[in-house]
Chain A
Amino acid sequence: MNGTRATTDPTAGTPEPAAEPQESVRRRRAARPKAERRRLDSTALIYLVLVAVVATSAVLTGVEGRNFFSQGNVWAVLTAMSVLGLIAIGQTLVILVGSLDLSVPYVVSLATVIAAGGMKGLDSNIPAAVVNTLALCAVIGLVMGLLVSLLHVHGFIASLGIGLVVSGYLGTNYQGSHGAAAPDLRLLGRSGIAGWIPTAFIILLVCAVLVTLLLRYTRLGHHVYAIGGNQAVARMSGVRTALPVVAAHVLCSVLAGLAALLLLSRTGVGSPTIGSQGRYDLLSIAAVVLGGTLLAGGKGSVVGTIGGVAIFAVLDNVMGVMQVNPFLKDFVRGLVIVLAVAVYARRSVVRRPPRFGASRPVLPVPSSAGPSTKGERA
């Protein structure tokens, strides 16, 4: 504890907060004469914060006499990222389209018990179990998507309701751990590249890249942003508004199912409570928001979300190393979320174009030309 206090002062915030305002001021100044809109965007900001958090954590871990960048620790951080990361990618999609998914923890729990129950510890059962699990998740997502898009139930309520249904089903049918993961799956949980990068993390990256491509280079992706930004505008522009909403919910639930398989590869048994213990609903939403995605939808990126997940993973890791009491952990997490959102809110205020003065050089007609012709006309 002493160590903490001594070290937080010089390292925790000082380099970053000092550098950040300078950066933004300089950019604002540079931006003004050219009327350029580019400022440090929120994705760059979140990765700057991530670097600062990593640096701080490295120092704090060092004070504890351990190496943050040791093989084992990097492995641990990346592993921790992968499960929440997959769920948060799905959550990003759902939030971008203007909905919300609170059912993820229950879907995760359900997926672990279904997959583990299907595998029964045998490699030969893997394909069927995986397909069954992901298909079940897809159906759950489909139901939520239809509730949201066709019956116009808000995602918050639809997913809350479906989550409760799943949780009720789990509670009545499963007590304690259930089934067993197949050895090959457990092997996957331990495998990786050069002992530094776990396979789970590679799966996360692949999914992140795929979803990013989906968002950037498909009509579906463009329409996800459009619907989340303004559903009326999207509809007026001829966008079919149901499909992207359904697709986002299905993908979110399937990604939660995938995350559950990764969990299963580590735990070895299905558990009906593992999802709620992980609090994946609120943590994934927090990671998405921390990553710069608007909670109302229409703006954000998977890249940002991964940054948000990484910040949480690093914070958790360093607090674990320092053996911080779990309640203080929550305190820190909560503080990070609230601060991040406050910063974004502040930035979005500043980002509005300046309202008076020499602020409109974008228009080609020089302001003197307008009135002069006006004078002639009269």
Chain B
Amino acid sequence: MPPNHSTERSTETAAENALVATGMTKSFFGNTVLDGLDLTLRAGEVHGLVGENGAGKSTLMKMLAGVHTPDSGTIVVGGEQASFSHPVQAQRAGVSTVFQEFNLLLERTIAENIWLGREPRRFGRVGPVDTAKMRRDTDELLSGLGVAGLKAGMLVRSLSVAEQQIVEIAKAVSFDAKVIQMDEPTAALADHEVELLYSIIQRLTDRGVAIVYVSHRLKEIFDLCQTITILKDGQHVATRPAGELSEAELVRLMVGRPLTTYFPEKPADVEVGDVRLALSGVGNGYVDDITLDVRAGEIVGIAGLQGSGRTELLETVFGVHPVARGGITLDGSPLKVTSPRQGVRARLAFITEDRKAKGLALNQSILDNALGVVRSVFPRRTGAARREMPGVLSGLDVAAASLGQEVQFLSGGNQQKVVLARWLSIDPLVVLMDEPTRGIDVGAKHRVYELMRELTRQGVAVLMVSSELPEVIGMSDRILVMRDGTLAGELPAGSSEEAVLAMATGAATEGEAA
């Protein structure tokens, strides 16, 4: 755990406070979302900010980032009083933020993105943009972060998610940031990319930058942070050194109740039935030679690195990508799907990893979203689904003012529940889940896990892709590991993270030999 041994250094610089925020209060429409919060960031520390969705983490971040103006409260950056009403003011003052949704222009180069809005000019204020300087400075920034493969002239569109995140961090650094806030920085990263992020964070803290680290992955919080601040319902719960907290205690503080088992136990009354979904030798441009089966009432987890073809496998089953080789059967009869519509008709449900882009129509109501699939594929069942929907949604604990509320105003967890309701309405035989708990809070995660168990009780077959190894291990009856578009192997439930990871990275043979 690289950055954790930096406690010595942080005690040395403990006197220096990079940022002190006191009495931060914000309410929207009379609804107080953050109530008198104090936060002190020491230079060179990684400060974890945890809490369920709606606890006020994002609001706090956005106030420090200049996106929201606080109703009251003061911010002192590097000893100087500051007030921001625009992100750029915050950045100039030394507070940069890497949001979960990147602020990047896909069709522009890395350099053009980093210097956007403050392009260096030759000959003072009237001269042309100094593109050479932009390029030089960008390459310098990137090599300062220890990144070798990125060049200033690359188009952002050609970069992977991890690389785009590096560009965002470089942009944050380019403001000479004293504080860099990171919102769920690993949400879309594979494990080896997370290591790179860790090393970049280490470099930044060595320079005395304070990092605000928001993540739902508690393991990362403990790996990285020296100090952890816990928020709940807009209130400050506790700020403690990471060493004094255990994971269980942290979860208890976050949710206010002890979650005895993080993953709900496999219910005893579920009987694994016949083979529901079977793939034999399936291959196309994305995956190859995939042979697997999922039985009724079974949860099969798929692990693998980002880019190993996990998502593409689910998409292939669902009909997004054509099957070039091999065959798929559903309940014993051949399944031929060449479009998602046919996938739905065969009663496959596909919970996408990108719910904002592919899962929901953000500016439509909860009800319209929840009925979206039924309405377009099984129009005759719409009426019945509409009558049942309020019950389904409240059964999933969707917290919303009304069913007419636009889903863009819901938290990530509630959005995901709407996605689930949308697919439950077709009474699926097989549920394909891609990162079912990405970017949602602990409570909502728990609800999703419970739902998966309920589905198995009804005899639904669940095929789940997840980057979170504890989730794959804790929920799956069997674990399939993918590597480079093929299945690397199968592991039983309860395997160790190391075993899964070794297989996913191809280190398995050595491990077995040793």
B309 touches A365 (CB 8 A): no
- Please report which residues of chain A, range 189-240, place their CB below 8 angstroms from some CB of chain B when the two chains form the complex: 213, 216-219, 221-223, 225-226, 229-230, 232-234, 236-239
B290-312 contacts to A (CB < 8 Å): 305, 307-309, 311-312
Complex Cα distance A368/B505, Å?
7
Pick from B105, B146, B157, B287: contact of A233, CB under 8 Å: B105
B312 A370 Cβ-Cβ under 8 A: no
Select which of B112, B196, B312, B507 is within 8 A of A368 by beta carbon. Answer: B507
**A356 part of interface (Cβ distance < 8 Å):** yes
B484 touches A237 (CB 8 A): no
| Residues in chain B near residue A151, CB distance under 8 A | none
Q: A356-B484, A356-B485, A367-B505 are in contact. Are A374 and B157 (CB under 8 A)?
A: no
**Whole-angstrom distance between the Cβ of B123 and the nearest chain A Cβ:** 12
CB distance from B41 to the nearest CB of A (A): 22
Which residues from A are CB-within-8-Å of B305? 367
B108 at the interface (CB under 8 A from A): yes
Q: Does A328 contact B (CB under 8 A)?
A: no
Contact-residue size bin, chain B (C-beta under 8 Å from the other chain): 35 or more
Q: Tell me the chain B residues, 100-150 only, with Cβ under 8 Å from chain A.
A: 103-108, 112, 116-119, 121, 128-129, 131, 146-150
List B residues 192-207 near A (Cβ within 8 Å). 192-196, 199
Whether B105 and A37, one on each chain, are in contact in the complex, defined by CB atoms closer than 8 angstroms, is: no
Partner of A234, one of B117, B155, B162, B485: B117
Q: A229-B108, A364-B147 are in contact. Are A357 and B155 (CB under 8 A)?
A: no
* Measured CA separation A45–B318 after assembly (Å): 36
Contact, CB under 8 Å: A356 / B286: yes
Q: Mark B473-514, 1 if CB is under 8 A from A, else 0.
A: 000000000001100000000000110011011010000000
Measured CB to CB, the closest approach of chain A to B305, in angstroms, equals 7
Contact across chains for B501 and A226 when beta carbons are under 8 A apart: no
**For residue A234, which residues in chain B have a CB less than 8 angstroms away from its CB?**
105, 116-117
Cβ contacts under 8 Å, B193 to chain A: 363, 365, 370
Q: Is A35 an interface residue (CB 8 A)?
A: yes
Q: State the Cβ distance, B354 to closest chain A Cβ, in Å.
A: 13
Docked-complex contact B502 and A371, CB < 8 angstroms:
yes
**Interface status of A66 (Cβ within 8 A of chain B):** no
Please judge, given known A-B contacts A229-B105, A355-B307, A367-B305, whether A362 and B129 are in contact too, CB under 8 Å.
no
* Given A219-B129, A298-B107, A357-B485, A371:B505 Cβ within 8 A: yes
Q: Taking A356-B484, A364-B149 as contacts, is the C-beta distance between A237 and B192 under 8 angstroms?
A: no
In the assembled complex, which residues on chain B have CB atoms less than 8 Å from the CB atom of A120? none
Contact yes or no, B117 A362, CB < 8 A: no
A238 and B119 in contact (CB under 8 A), knowing A363-B162, A365-B195, A368-B505? no
The minimal Cβ–Cβ distance linking B396 to chain A, given in whole angstroms, is 31
CA distance A369 to B195 in the complex (A): 9
Q: Name the B residues within 8 Å of A218 (CB-CB).
A: 128-129
Residue in contact with A362 in the complex, picked from B104, B121, B160, B502, CB distance below 8 Å: B160
Contact A374 B501 (CB under 8 A): yes
| Cβ–Cβ < 8 Å partners of B118 in chain A | 238
Also in contact, A371 and B501, with CB within 8 A (given A219-B129, A229-B105, A237-B103): yes
Question: In the complex, A355→B117 CA distance in Å?
Answer: 32
| CB neighbours of A213 from chain B (8 A) | 128
Complex: A226 Cα to B105 Cα, angstroms: 7
Cα(A355)–Cα(B320), bound, Å = 15
Tell whether A35 pairs with B149 under 8 Å between CB atoms, given A218-B129, A238-B88: yes
Q: Does B154 contact A (CB under 8 A)?
A: yes
A173 on interface, CB distance cutoff 8 Å: no
Chain A residue at minimal CB-CB distance from B501: A371
A98 to B160, CA, bound (A): 26
Complex Cα gap A358–B129 (Å): 37
Complex partner residue of B107 from A217, A223, A225, A374, CB under 8 angstroms: A225
Whole-angstrom distance between the alpha carbons of A353 and B163 in the complex? 12
In the complex, A355→B159 CA distance in Å? 11
Neighbouring A residues of B325 by C-beta, 8 Å: none
A26 contacts B by Cβ under 8 Å = no
Q: Given the complex of chains A and B, what is the CA–CA distance between A35 and B498 in angstroms?
A: 30
* Most A-side CB within 10 Å, residue of B107, B505, B507: B107
The reply to whether the CB of B280 lies closer than 8 angstroms to some CB of chain A is: no
Complexed CA–CA distance, A237 and B91 (Å): 9
Check if A361 sits within 8 Å of B117, measured CB to CB: no
Partner of B119, one of A35, A219, A294, A357: A219
Q: In the complex, A144→B192 CA distance in Å? A: 51
Return chain A residues, CB-CB under 8 Å to B194: 370
Question: Can you list the 7 inter-chain pairs with the closest CB atoms, starting with the nearest?
Answer: A370-B192, A238-B88, A362-B149, A217-B128, A299-B107, A229-B105, A37-B158
Chain B interface residues (CB < 8 Å from chain A): 1-2, 86-88, 91, 103-108, 112, 116-119, 121, 128-129, 131, 146-150, 154-155, 157-160, 162-163, 191-196, 199, 223, 286-287, 305, 307-309, 311-312, 484-485, 497-498, 501-502, 504-505, 507
